[in-house]
Amino acid sequence: MRTRYVLLLVAGAAALAAVVPGDVHGQDRNASRPQGRGAAPSGGVLGILAHGEWQCALPGDAGGEAFVDVPSEAFRIGTSSSYRTPDGGRGIYLLRGTELVFTRGPKKDQRFAVKGENTLQKLKADGTPAKLICTRVSTAP
């Protein structure tokens, strides 16, 4: 294109922008943002869990055991944000800030709050803490 045509196009666009109100041709930024899914953590820095075996338990009572082991909730954290369940199921998790979400596999959509380097607390669907606590009991070989 010749220089004079480019200059004419730029001048025409500038004149049009000056005449037309800003809200008519502007983009609605809120409407164009991707709509989030409920299962994704709300914010924070991406991270990984400590690799190894994680056992889960419910609190016991004063008259008996201090805790009740729940073997079906156990899992093993591996490389690349992956996990494996005792029955051989595999999946992926996302750790963002202090919130963990299992995004694929048998534990999909289960959410946990990170309470420490080796402790997780399961969250109910509404985000309130559940009684189940998971603790890392060994490191990966």
Domain boundaries, the chain: 3-31, 46-138
Instruction: Report CA-CA distances (Å) from 58 to 54, 124, 139.
Output: 14, 14, 22
CATH topology of domain 46-138: Lipocalin (2.40.128)
Q: What pLDDT does residue 62 have? A: 84
Mean pLDDT of the chain: 83
The whole-number average pLDDT for the span 30-45 is: 57
> Of 137, 140, 135, 138, which Cα lies nearest the Cα of 56?
135
Tokens at residue 9, please? 């196009």
Share of the chain above pLDDT 70, in %: 74
Q: What pLDDT does residue 63 have? A: 85
Classified as helix, coil or strand, 24 is helix
- Token match 């079906």: residue? 72
Classified as helix, coil or strand, 114 is strand
